[in-house]
Structure 1
Amino acid sequence: MFYLSQSGLPQPADLGLIALAPFFIRRQYLTATMGSVRPYIAFLGLVIVVNLVWLSISQNMDFLQTIAFYGFNAIVFLFVLSVVGKHRSSIERSLTIGLFIAVAIQIFVVMSHVGEAARSSGTFQNPNQLGYWALCVLGIFFLARQARAGLLELIFTSGALYIAFVSLSRSTILAIALLAVVHFARHAPRRTMAVLVAGLLAGTVVMLVPSPAQRSLEHRFQQMEAIEKLERRFARASEKSQLEVRGYDRITDNPTLVAVGAGEGYHERFSSIDRELHSTIGTVLFSYGLLGMVAFLIFLGSLTGYTKILPYLYLAPFVFYGLAHQGLRFSFFWVFCALLAASSRGLLSSSFRLNLPFRRGPSIPARGAAAWRRPGYASASASASASASAPDLVRRRSPR
């Protein structure tokens, strides 16, 4: 969340996590989620092999950096699964408090720099990172509070929407709106409307609240006009040009590499745009081939338990965001994936499993249930039943 060194280099928090990982990651804590760990290891192994092959061919160090990113995120994924496997539902309270503190800090930083740029970056180094962070923390928050959709959830959602609005990331705003609708609609449709209203209010606050330096509203509206012009430029852009900007033309121009995988790096090989393909799904398909795509889809399916519909709905906004942005290197995405796998398997107290219909046994009245827990109740009731049935047995056996 805070960058104390250059983007792409390990931050102090990353080094601390690496140091703690050997003490937390244990096989016995991963037993319950092994159904997701195995597909993930298979996908990770394919990523490492493909990038090592291209490293040996091109001698370009981009592929080695890619392996380092995936290796670190593997530690994050397994670390979160191990912590959840060890502590189960006891982490939800601390997780909720920590997320609220993080969002509050981010909002404070954002509001402290309102008006300095058309798009806010918060504590990150570009606006897209800020927006994606807001989407990830909202997804993590909803997973930790699956069975709840009250005022606390509404406040947190409003904070995430505010952060998304100031980042001006259209994909993030739409993905957060979709995620909020999924969560609130399954609990109470009326609260879904409240979430949408809160989103509109958050947008209004973004546009109207001046900065601490008391910049005039006129300057703020001038920025809004510039943003509207930028939006009109994007709206006038053809679908083909947008696909080229995102890098999708590499897939159509290099069908052979789609079959075997082009590796993730050395981007100047393919077009004049010297940058990565701006799509999670497109990156997996182009960089790791058809086999890598299948492995990644199997991994995503394993997170949801394959047969449960509700986890897919929570995963859908991230897939939607991934159509326009590459989010595989962002560690918070892998935290969300780990908690989704744990929740789908009932490891959290508000897991998906506890919200699915189940077959009920015979109901016990409240007094009966309380009496059932009293010592000697079973023996007393058995004796009473035997006494009641004894005369019937005598009557049946007595000669007529």
Structure 2
Amino acid sequence: MMSTIEITRLTKNELNIVDKLILFFYSLYFILNPIYLWSSGLPQISDLSIIFSIIIYTFYRKFTFKITEEIKPILLVGLLFVVWIIFINLIWIFRLQTIDNFLVSTFFYIYNYFLLFFVIALVNHYKNILFKVTYISVIISVIIQFLIYIISGGGDGSRQVGFLNNPNQLGYYSLLILAFLIFFSSKLDIKFYWFMLAMVSSIILILASLSKAAIVSMLGLLILYLFVKNKKKKLKKKYVVCLALILALGFSMYKATDFFQENQLMNSVQERADSIGEDPDDNLEGRGYDRLYDHPEYWITGAGEGAYYRFSKNNFELHSTLGNLLISYGIVGLSLFVLMVLFALRNDRFRSTYIVLFLMVYGLTHNGIRNSLLWILLALIASYTIKEINERTT
């Protein structure tokens, strides 16, 4: 209901039926994003939704928008990054005479770059409306997932998956949603109670996933946001009041009941925290970092993203965002990606740096670059200059 009322109010006198269809399928992407009907690596139902949005937009708008001087660098460097990936992977396909994972990996980067380009185009056309639609969509998405978690009997202490394929995907999805919420809280006039409900839903889902990387990243992101980066005084006061009430309630429950001692979710989170550094894969070799120093010959141009049998110790991809880029595409590929991110952050005057930083903290032990939500967030961060310019000139 919130979505229908808000979007109708925003678009009543501005958008025609085609515009509404474009934004509807775009918003549906976020709502359907955590629902996997097929194995990981295949297009999911959310991808089909945003493809419908792209098709309608292409026929209706034909991508006819002005690329500003602020946006040009991120699009250019991003394009060079993807071209480099295509080039390196094709070289290794011909050298090794195998397409083992190389083509699939390449497709992810092409697809995500195109989504980045698409979202920037949407911001150019729909301006602040696109930000509001995205904000509403991520709130609906995470609240639905939280309700599913509750209805399905969540909180039993086991690692939750939801409708995704593994717990780490749930943790990363929820962390990305938290990043979106924090980003929008400084850009839009938000309704505090809906915002807090979405924040709490994200936090609980991250805890329920028992993903150590997601929990650590979440804590760092929340601490910086609540106590350092949040510049809205009224909003900050509300956070302080809510936090004080939660702490008071928690302390009372701890003293008067056995809730915390008997709560299976809390106990599981505590056990996961205590096991940091003790699990078999909680080391450099377990995550595949050893190939960085075992194979320095790949530092410049990379080994491509596939044929992992070449790394005899661990026949899998390096479980790291930046580390995987370095071993797969060398210093050239890593530098292009970092430069693209820096150009995006520059357009937001680096105010969102800490948000991206903690997403990269998660990426120290997982390869999070394939998740399209990360690229869409970068597109929105990069587009904030367009939004501000449009608002000043309209």
What range describes the TM-score normalised by the shorter chain of this pair? 0.7 to 0.9
**Change in CA separation of 1:271 and 1:15 when aligned onto 2, cut-off 3 Å:** same
1:376 paired residue number: none
2:182 paired residue number: 142
CA contact (8 A) 1:284 1:293 kept: yes
2:113 paired residue number: 74
1:124 paired residue number: 164
1:342 paired residue number: 383
2:304 paired residue number: 263
Residues 303-342 of structure 1: matches in 2 within 5 Å?
A: 303-305=344-346, 308-342=349-383
1:31 paired residue number: 67
- CA–CA separation in structure 1 for the residues paired with 2:359 and 2:246: 19
- CA–CA separation in structure 1 for the residues paired with 2:249 and 2:46: 31
- CA–CA separation in structure 1 for the residues paired with 2:288 and 2:250: 31
Which deviates further from its counterpart, 24-33 or 6-15?
24-33
Q: Deviations along 1:307-354, whole A, 9 cap, x unmatched?
A: 9231322322112211121111111111111111112x1416999x9x
CA contact (8 A) 2:347 2:382 kept: no
Higher Cα Rg: structure 1 or 2? 1
**Change in CA separation of 1:236 and 1:128 when aligned onto 2, cut-off 3 Å:** closer
**Change in CA separation of 1:120 and 1:272 when aligned onto 2, cut-off 3 Å:** same
Q: Deviations along 1:75-130, whole A, 9 cap, x unmatched?
A: 22122111111100012332232222111110012121425661101121111111
- CA–CA separation in structure 2 for the residues paired with 1:251 and 1:226: 33
User: Alpha-carbon deviation of 1:194?
Assistant: 5.4
**Change in CA separation of 1:43 and 1:144 when aligned onto 2, cut-off 3 Å:** same
SS at match of 1:327: coil
2:334 paired residue number: 293
What is the aligned counterpart of 2:85 among 43, 47, 66? 47
What is the aligned counterpart of 2:204 among 148, 153, 162? 162
**Change in CA separation of 1:99 and 1:14 when aligned onto 2, cut-off 3 Å:** same
User: Alpha-carbon deviation of 1:242?
Assistant: 0.7
Identity %: 27
What is the aligned counterpart of 1:60 among 72, 96, 99? 99
User: Alpha-carbon deviation of 1:151?
Assistant: 4.0
One-letter amino acid of the structure 1 residue matched with residue 164 of structure 2: F
CA contact (8 A) 1:158 1:199 kept: no
Which deviates further from its counterpart, 106-115 or 149-158?
149-158
What is the aligned counterpart of 1:88 among 127, 137, 153? 127
One-letter amino acid of the structure 2 residue matched with residue 53 of structure 1: I
User: Alpha-carbon deviation of 1:281?
Assistant: 0.8
User: Alpha-carbon deviation of 1:193?
Assistant: 4.4
**Change in CA separation of 1:12 and 1:157 when aligned onto 2, cut-off 3 Å:** closer
Which deviates further from its counterpart, 179-188 or 322-331?
179-188
What is the aligned counterpart of 1:273 among 302, 308, 314? 314
**Change in CA separation of 1:222 and 1:81 when aligned onto 2, cut-off 3 Å:** closer
CA contact (8 A) 1:70 1:329 kept: yes
Residues 138-287 of structure 1: matches in 2 within 5 Å?
A: 138-147=178-187, 148=189, 150-184=192-226, 185-188=230-233, 190-191=237-238, 193=240, 231-236=273-278, 242-287=283-328
User: Alpha-carbon deviation of 1:196?
Assistant: 5.7
- CA–CA separation in structure 2 for the residues paired with 1:115 and 1:290: 43
CA contact (8 A) 1:131 1:172 kept: yes
**Change in CA separation of 1:300 and 1:202 when aligned onto 2, cut-off 3 Å:** farther
- CA–CA separation in structure 2 for the residues paired with 1:202 and 1:144: 29
- CA–CA separation in structure 2 for the residues paired with 1:60 and 1:235: 35
**TM-score normalised over the length of structure 2:** 0.75
One-letter amino acid of the structure 1 residue matched with residue 373 of structure 2: F
RMSD: 3.5
One-letter amino acid of the structure 2 residue matched with residue 284 of structure 1: L
- CA–CA separation in structure 1 for the residues paired with 2:73 and 2:171: 31
- CA–CA separation in structure 1 for the residues paired with 2:57 and 2:264: 52
SS at match of 2:276: helix
- CA–CA separation in structure 2 for the residues paired with 1:193 and 1:270: 50
One-letter amino acid of the structure 2 residue matched with residue 76 of structure 1: L
SS at match of 1:165: helix
2:254 paired residue number: none
CA contact (8 A) 1:136 1:333 kept: yes
- CA–CA separation in structure 2 for the residues paired with 1:200 and 1:57: 60
CA contact (8 A) 1:157 1:180 kept: no
